[in-house]
Amino acid sequence: MPEWAKNRVVLGLLVFFSAVGVWEFRLKPQFRPMYEQGIVLYQRGRYLEALREFERAYALAPNQVEIIVMAGWSNLKLRHHEEARFYFQRALRIEPRNVEAQLGAALVDWQSGRAVDEKRVRALESRYPDDPAVRAMAAAVRSRGGRK
Amino acid sequence: MHDRVLVLFDYVNAVILVYFVLTNATYTLLMLVSLYAVTMHSKYAARIGNQDLLDSPVTPPVALIVPAHNEEEGIVPTVLSLLELEYPEKELIVVDDGSSDGTASRLVERFGLQAADFIYRPRLKARAPLGFFYSPEYPQLLLIRKENGGKADALNVGINMARSPYFFSVDADSIIERQGVLRLMAPVLQSRIPTVVSGGVVRIANGCTVREGKIVAVDLPGSWLERCQVVEYIRTFLFGRPGWNFLHATFIASGAFCLLHRESVIGAGGFATDTVTEDIDVIASLHRSLRAKGEPYRMVFATDPICWTEAPKEVRMLARQRRRWQLGLLQTVMKHNDMIFNPSYGALGMMGLPFHAYIEAVGCLVEALGTVLIPFSFLVGAMPLSLFLLLMFLAVGYGTLLSTGSVLMEEATIRRYPKISHVVTLMGYALIENFGYRQMTAFFRAQGAIQYLTGRRRWETVRKSGMKQVAHA
């Protein structure tokens, strides 16, 4: 047996890091069931309840972009523009190339009457020409000139 | 890949969070215990009359051992101040550890030392002395010259020559209050259980006025670096060591101001040369040796005796000091790792040593990592505001509470800083030292830990520029 395997400082550290790992990945309440329930509720149009599920999931996994984006969409559906903007921007800080978050951020700006980043919308349109949501967004922005 | 990085971030953040929660929980426990211990000791110390101890025929002799290496500037004032310490019977042994300057010649000149041929019994392994010098005028003073072998080696030579049952290691740049040794001996005499270690409080002398090796005026230093160290020392000596001592889990006693039982130290093998912090190592060795023999023993920490020492004035020197302390602490906990979570070592094995190993020795790496990673995670958006604020409170805010609490406790018990302005200034620095200074020292400590891990285990010399001296009036 190597010397380090008998060293109690090393063994204690291994126990500590393993215990934190077990907590983080096994014992800690997982976000997935709440997220999936939120998706079901969102698809049924029950946005307020969906938002609650996404917020519970967000509290457990604040870095999961998929949760953050869905929390943004739910808020947008409920016309909570400031909250929606917060979630989309946070998603973009973690993953700047996330299409859903870019689209949501542009949409929330557009719906709340703020200046829309037209360059971003054009870039999205050229990258995803077949995405109906992107096309609808681009059309809306063009029709309003990007400004209220 | 992106998801994996985020999962790793979450895991590392969880490690940092658990570390800070555990650290702060332990400090809270220590704070409460220390508060009780320091208050009780203050009441006890107020009842003990120094004159009784001075006159008592049972007050045992003490050997003051001064290991000196290239200390020609400060050695004579140090010896003069030690000769003037109030203690009934003391021997003063200066061990010149292969100095290349005039350390020995200054002493020979000032005290009229003469070469002598003493019998030397090497009970502890150390480099053999090259010569002995005694003074007819100061019979308690002895100078030993030897080849350079390091501080631990010099101390072992001093212990071999000492005749007193207790000895005291004195750094050549430290100043002990006149009744300091007497106050250290008081709890030893009061105890029914053999006391093998009695440690006291070390304070920073920067800013104080020194005359002929005595502190004549207490003041605060001028620079922010030194003031932060003043607060840090107060916190360490009032919120750490009394608490561990009360729990019978003493692992560190400052080598600059610590009374040790000579036979017990010899039984434990003396000061080891395989760590750079021989004072920490000797305490662990004492626990090991005395527990193995099954002998009852006690270690005490008294908060009223005070020793003043000079703190580094430059960041570069502070870095060297902290790296060395951290390296030594790691060397010692690794050397004595079999005592960790070993119930046969009582509270030391179950609490004190795990704390020093995981929180003090290894934890500096987590602390340094957290200092960088917490703001970074927040800025890149990988950490929500609520978690960021929680971690910042645990990492910084709680430390501020501890620092201000320890300054207040100092004022309520020991009161060595005489002016209100001192207390107000210290309170201010207790608030701000957690914003910058603490993070800086965490990095220095992490460097020390990395030195250990990479095998660069060498002694780094800390140069000090000397205390503010005034001539005799």
The domain limits of chain A are 31-144
Q: Do B10 and A23 count as a contact with CB atoms less than 8 A apart?
A: no
Written as one letter, the residue type at B171 is: D
Which of the 8 DSSP states describes residue A26? I
Beta pairing, strands B209-211 & B214-217: antiparallel
* Parts of chain B with a pLDDT under 50: 472-473
Inform me whether the C-beta atom of residue A9 falls under 8 Å from chain B C-beta atoms: yes
- Domain that includes residue B164, residue range: 48-318
**Sequence-ordered list of residues with C-beta below 8 angstroms from that of B434, at least 6 positions apart, any chain:** B396, B397, B399, B400, B403
Query: Is B361 domain-assigned?
Result: no
Test mutation, A3, A18, A24, A64, chain B, max B CBs within 10 A: A24
- Which residues in chain B are contacts of A16 at CB distance < 8 A? 18, 358
Q: Is residue B324 part of a domain?
A: no
Contact B10 A63 (CB under 8 A): yes
Structure confidence by residue, pLDDT tens digits, B377-386: 888 777 777 7
Of B9, B358, B382, the CB nearest to A12: B358
Q: Does A18 touch chain B (CB under 8 A)?
A: no
Residues on B contacting A at a C-beta cutoff of 8 Å: 2, 6, 9-11, 14-15, 18, 333-334, 337-338, 340-341, 354, 357-358, 361-362, 380-384, 387
What are the residues whose beta carbons fall under 8 Å from the beta carbon of B430, sequence distance 6 or more? B231, B400, B403, B404, B406, B407
pLDDT score of B459? 61
Q: Give domain status of residue B450, yes or no.
A: no
Which helix (H) or strand (E) covers residue A135, if one does?
helix A132-144
> Is the Cβ pair A12, B341 closer than 8 Å?
yes
Q: Give the A window 70-129 contacts with B, CB below 8 Å.
A: 90, 93-95
Contacts of A37 (CB under 8 A, 6+ apart): A53
Is A93's CB within 8 Å of B384's CB? Answer: no
Helices marked H in A23-117 — which ranges?
32-43, 47-60, 65-77, 81-94, 99-111
Quick one: closest CA in B to A97, which residue? B2
Residues of B in contact with A61 (CB under 8 A): 10
The β-bridge partners of B146 are B97, B129
CA distance, residue A16 to nearest chain B CA (Å): 9
Judged by CB atoms closer than 8 Å, whether chains meet at A9 and B337 is answered as yes
Do the Cβ atoms of A95 and B2 come within 8 Å? yes
- In this prediction, residue A110 carries a pLDDT of 81
List CB contacts (< 8 A) between A97 and chain B: none
- Subunit contact A21:B11, Cβ cutoff 8 A: yes
CB B401 within 8 A of CB B50: no
Reference A68, options A76, A18, A30, B185; nearest CA is A76
Place of tokens 């009229």: B112
> How many A/B residue pairs have CB atoms within 8 Å?
53
- Cβ-proximal residues to A29 (8 Å cutoff; 6+ apart), any chain: A60
Number of domains observed in the structure of chain B: 1
Which chain B positions have a beta carbon within 8 Å of A83's beta carbon? none
Cα–Cα dist A19/B171, whole Å = 44
At residue A89, what is the residue type? Q
Low-confidence ranges of chain A (pLDDT < 70): 144-148
Q: B18 to chain A: nearest residue by CA? A: A20
| Residues of chain B positioned with their CB less than 8 A from the CB of A9 | 333-334, 337, 340, 357-358, 361-362
Measured at the alpha carbon of residue B417, what is the angle toward residues B411 and B421, in degrees to the nearest 5? 90
> Which CATH architecture is the domain A31-144 placed in?
Alpha Horseshoe (1.25)
Q: Which residues contact B463 (CB under 8 A, 6 or more apart)?
A: B317
Q: Under a CB-based contact definition with an 8 Å cutoff, are residues B345 and B299 in contact?
A: no
Q: What pLDDT is stored for residue A107 in this prediction?
A: 85
Contact B92, B79 (CB under 8 A): yes
Question: How far is it, in rounded angstroms, from Cα B282 to Cα B411?
Answer: 32
Nearest to A8 among B2, B340, B361 (CB): B340
Mutate to test the interface with B, among A20, A28, A55, A64 (most CBs of B within 10 A): A20
Q: Please give the span between the terminal C-alpha atoms of chain B, in angstroms, as a whole number.
A: 74
| Chain-chain contact of A90 with B14 (C-beta, under 8 angstroms) | no
What CATH number is given to the structural domain containing B259? 3.90.550.10
Q: Give a three-class secondary structure readout of chain B.
A: CHHHHHHHHHHHHHHHHHHHHHHHHHHHHHHHHHHHHHHHHHHHHHHCCHHHHHHCCCCCCEEEEEEECCCCCCHHHHHHHHHCCCCCCEEEEEEEECCCCCHHHHHHHHHCCEEECCCCCCCCCCCCEEEEEECCCCCCEEEEEECCCCHHHHHHHHHHHCCCCEEEECCCCEEECCCHHHHHHHHHHHCCCCEEEEEEEEEECCCCEEECCEEEECCCCCCHHHHHHHHHHHHHHHHCHHHHHHCCCCCCCCCCCEEEEHHHHHHCCCCCCCCCCHHHHHHHHHHHHHHHHCCCCEEEEEEEEEEEECCCCCHHHHHHHHHHHHHHHHHHHHHCHHHCCCHHHHHHHHHHHHHHHHHHHCHHHHHHHHHHHHHHHHHCCCCCHHHHHHHHHHHHHHHHHHHHHHHHHHHHCCCCCCCHHHHHHHHHHHHHCCCCHHHHHHHHHHHHHHHHHCCCCCCCCCCCCCCEECCCC
With beta carbons under 8 A apart, name residues in chain B contacting A95. 2
Three-state SS at A66: helix
* Residues of B in Cβ contact (< 8 Å) with A93: 380-381
Give the global pTM.
0.81
Residues of chain A with Cβ-Cβ distance to B334 below 8 Å are 7, 9
B343 contact partners, CB below 8 Å, separation of at least 6: B349, B350
Residue with tokens 């008998």: A6
